A and B are shown apart, each in its own frame.
Chain A
Amino acid sequence: MKLKMHRYEEIWLVCGISLIVVFMLITGYQTFALDMGPPSHMETIDPQKVDETAPFDKPGVYKIGEDEYEVVMSLESFAFTPADIEIPAGSTVHFILTSKDVTHGFEVAGTNVNAMVMPGYIQKITQKFSKAGEYLIVCNEYCGAGHQYMSTIIKVV
């Protein structure tokens, strides 16, 4: 397969492709060496038995280490359980999430916390909250008539 192109086009493509390769190298390194990849938890759960299945039978905020917390949360149209969370500044928070009904999005506005939460799947995402403040958590996947009410607060003190 011979494709004759002007030297300038070759130069451009080499540069363009290299740019994309650099993007992939940076994010690939972060993902596979630094564990910074997108939320991709594989565990499943019976979507009709969430309230009876651990850990969602006891949703809440749990301290698991010096500056480390687990937030076990279930989502449903149109609420987060637990709501109005409070954690100390400087904590690393592991969110453990599932949906009791339809697909929701879990987003902490202004942060990198952004994960899809499907019924039948347990999703996990971790974030260190260094700065104090009142962060807004919203559902960012349309889930019904009250979607615009589906929010809660995470207060970092």
Chain B
Amino acid sequence: MNKLLGAQPKDAALSRTYLFVAFAALLLGGIMGLLQATERAGLFEMPSWFTYYQALTTHGIVLVVVLTAFFTIGYFYAALSHTLGGLLPKVRKMAWIGFALKIIGFVFVVIPVLMNKATVMYTFYPPMKASPYFYIGLVFIVLGVWMCAFGAFVQVATWRKNNRGQHLPILSFFATGVFVLLFFGSLGVTVEVLTLIPWAFGWTKTVNVMVSRTLFWSFGHTLVNIWYLTAVSAWYVVVPKVIGGRRFSDVLTRFVIIALVITNIPGGFHHQIIDPGMSQSLKFMHVFMSLVIGIPSMMTAYAMFSVFERRGRELGGKGLLGWFKKMPWGDVRFLAPFIAMVAFIPGGAGGIVQTTNQLNQVVHNTLWIVGHFHLTVGTSVILTFFGISYWLIPFVSKRVLTPRINKLGVIQTIFWTIGMLIMTFSMHIVGLLGAPRRTSYTTYGDHAVAASWDPYTILVVIGAAFLLVGGALQLYAAYYLMFRAPKGHTEFPLAEAEENASATPYWTERWGRTIIVMLLLVAMAYVAPLVNFIANAPPGSPPFVTW
């Protein structure tokens, strides 16, 4: 039920604060990215007190953990408030506690990084050892995220108790899926980090490298699919409303969410296809589980086109693809998520190809992978988030999206798109030529192969320059919409379901069952390798500080 009065003021303040932090993270992370791109092309030398690797570690943490988490939580809490009739005071309090925990955690994480005591990338693979406070900070961040997850569960559970037999409003259903994944997906990495803290302090002497790595990736992959599910929620629920249409089949939408939740965590091992210590059969099973995620994605592709075609034809579009022209291209709230969807075509396709077992050898740890995730998270997810911000920020700030800012948003989207296009395309190519990722500028002793990479790294800088402009425009738009835009009411675009659709069966609401199936799949995927890594472990590794 749409409460047309907009978010409750206290709920709005919560989301607004989360969104503010998200965009502050974009600013910091973006600056890092620019430094990296220019350094990597040999055009700029980083100072000795802040190396390429420190910038890269910061870039990863700030964009991939802070920006995404804070935006996701700010967005979904606004959705919970809006679609479930306002947040319960205790839920709001939990979200604020979560906010504080995350900020404290971030401070504990970033200070060692700035001091070159935690130059370990956001993956912090042991036996590289960061300052113990880095790991402690990570624990605080995770606890903060859990508080928000528990808050969401309390909110949803209360609503369901008061609305027995009814379907959870769809955007809150998406939120539930994301918070379920956030909680369960982070259990593995929490165990890992808790073993790293005593090791980092020197209280334990060695660490199990493969167990740590495997636990990390049980989380690391889930994380990316969490943002994907967040972006997808806007694709299914918001974008159809922006174009004046209806959303796709309710039952199929809920099915996709459930499928994404169930298949997500077990796919983690495709980050370890060329690792030692795990049998080819187990790896192949993980490849299968990773590819299974392609199915709800294929369903989503169909759903998106179908919604556009239906609306386009309603507006008079003719022929096979004439309906495309009827879309509101000048509306940033459509344009940005639409380009995000298009970016997922090469992003998802690349993902399928690079996870197919031995094909991974062609691209693992090369710049191809970096191109891949700048498409999937850097474009599909972030551009969707940007597109959302043009109505969400004014919605929670009691302001309006002005035509001028909308136009700015369109321009911003174009710059971002061009930037990502140039950058990701060159990264994919130079990756196929063997250029490694996470490596600062080098000629590898004036080797001819390394020289062949140079033109592409220059293209990356050109792409980064476009992103700089796009990013700056986006930051300005976000600032303006939050603090300067004219006061008023902005609609929270929520599309209605198809009319004449049959009622969605109630099994979709059985989250308990969904979680159990998810955990069974996780067990199927992880018990064997983890037991093996523990039981047949070599002597552990002592800490190393190699920077």
A contacts B directly (C-beta below 8 A): yes
Question: Complex formed: what's the CA distance from A147 to B441 in Å?
Answer: 10
Which single residue of chain A is at the shortest CB-CB distance from B445? A151
- B162-179 interface (Cβ within 8 A of A): none
**Residue pair B277, A42 in contact (C-beta under 8 Å):** yes
Chain A residues contacting B361 (CB-CB under 8 Å) are 38-39, 112-115
**Listed A/B pairs (12) with beta-carbon separation below 8 Å:** A4-B249, A13-B298, A27-B359, A38-B283, A40-B277, A45-B538, A103-B209, A110-B449, A111-B434, A136-B450, A138-B439, A143-B546
**Residue pair B544, A118 in contact (C-beta under 8 Å):** no
Interface size on A, residues (CB 8 A): 71
A12 within 8 A of B: yes
Chain B residues contacting A147 (CB-CB under 8 Å) are 53, 438-440
Question: Complex formed: what's the CA distance from A136 to B446 in Å?
Answer: 11
Total contacts A-B at CB 8 Å: 227
B4-12, B119-127, B226-234: which lies at the A interface? B119-127
**Residue pair A145, B546 in contact (C-beta under 8 Å):** yes
| A20-B291, A24-B356, A27-B359 known; A103+B279 contact, CB < 8 A | no
| A17-B295, A38-B357, A102-B128 known; A140+B364 contact, CB < 8 A | yes
Question: Complex formed: what's the CA distance from A42 to B533 in Å?
Answer: 10
Q: Closest CB of chain A to B462's CB: distance in Å?
A: 22
| A16-B295, A27-B359, A40-B283 known; A4+B251 contact, CB < 8 A | yes
Question: Complex formed: what's the CA distance from A71 to B508 in Å?
Answer: 56
| A41-B276, A45-B538 known; A13+B299 contact, CB < 8 A | yes
Chain A residues contacting B428 (CB-CB under 8 Å) are none
**Residue pair A9, B439 in contact (C-beta under 8 Å):** no
Chain A residues contacting B284 (CB-CB under 8 Å) are 28, 31-32, 37
A91 within 8 A of B: no
B491 within 8 A of A: no
Which of A77, A120, A139 is the one whose CB lies under 8 Å from B539? A120
**Residue pair B294, A140 in contact (C-beta under 8 Å):** no
**Residue pair B274, A119 in contact (C-beta under 8 Å):** no
Chain A residues contacting B53 (CB-CB under 8 Å) are 142, 145, 147
| Besides the known contacts A41-B277, A115-B361, A121-B210, 19 further A-B residue pairs in the complex with CB atoms under 8 A apart | A5-B249, A17-B298, A24-B291, A40-B277, A45-B538, A102-B541, A107-B365, A109-B434, A111-B434, A118-B209, A118-B276, A120-B209, A120-B537, A136-B434, A136-B449, A138-B444, A141-B365, A142-B438, A142-B439
Which single residue of chain A is at the shortest CB-CB distance from B275? A116
Q: Closest CB of chain A to B34's CB: distance in Å?
A: 19
- A10-63 interface (Cβ within 8 A of B): 12-13, 16-17, 20, 23-24, 27-28, 30-32, 36-42, 44-48
Q: Closest CB of chain A to B38's CB: distance in Å?
A: 15
Chain B residues contacting A64 (CB-CB under 8 Å) are none
**Residue pair B280, A31 in contact (C-beta under 8 Å):** yes
Interface size on B, residues (CB 8 A): 77
Q: Closest CB of chain B to A71's CB: distance in Å?
A: 16
| A9-B299, A140-B366 known; A20+B352 contact, CB < 8 A | yes
Chain A residues contacting B281 (CB-CB under 8 Å) are 32
Chain B residues contacting A153 (CB-CB under 8 Å) are 447
**Residue pair A145, B356 in contact (C-beta under 8 Å):** no
B482 within 8 A of A: no
**Residue pair A109, B358 in contact (C-beta under 8 Å):** no
**Residue pair A101, B209 in contact (C-beta under 8 Å):** no
A105 within 8 A of B: yes
| A101-B127, A102-B125, A120-B210 known; A3+B252 contact, CB < 8 A | yes
Chain A residues contacting B252 (CB-CB under 8 Å) are 3, 5
- B89-148 interface (Cβ within 8 A of A): 119, 121, 125, 127-128
Which of A8, A13, A24, A103 is the one whose CB lies under 8 Å from B295? A13
- A127-157 interface (Cβ within 8 A of B): 134-136, 138-149, 151, 153
Closest CB pairs A-B (n = 8) = A144-B546, A109-B434, A120-B538, A44-B538, A140-B436, A140-B365, A148-B442, A121-B276
Q: Closest CB of chain A to B470's CB: distance in Å?
A: 28
Chain A residues contacting B255 (CB-CB under 8 Å) are 3
B278 within 8 A of A: yes
Which of A23, A39, A135 is the one whose CB lies under 8 Å from B291? A23
**Residue pair B436, A101 in contact (C-beta under 8 Å):** no
Chain A residues contacting B128 (CB-CB under 8 Å) are 102-103, 143-144
Chain B residues contacting A27 (CB-CB under 8 Å) are 287, 356-359
Which of B56, B538, B544 is the one whose CB lies under 8 Å from A77? B544
Which single residue of chain B is at the shortest CB-CB distance from A106? B274
Interface string of B415-440 (1 = CB under 8 A from A): 00000000000000000011111111
Question: Complex formed: what's the CA distance from A109 to B366 in Å?
Answer: 10
| A31-B357, A140-B437, A142-B53 known; A42+B279 contact, CB < 8 A | yes
Which single residue of chain B is at the shortest CB-CB distance from A1? B507
**Residue pair B358, A40 in contact (C-beta under 8 Å):** no
B201 within 8 A of A: no
B273 within 8 A of A: yes
B505 within 8 A of A: yes
A87 within 8 A of B: no
Chain B residues contacting A74 (CB-CB under 8 Å) are none
Interface string of B528-547 (1 = CB under 8 A from A): 00000000111111101011
Chain A residues contacting B287 (CB-CB under 8 Å) are 24, 27
Question: Complex formed: what's the CA distance from A101 to B381 in Å?
Answer: 36
Which single residue of chain A is at the shortest CB-CB distance from B119? A145
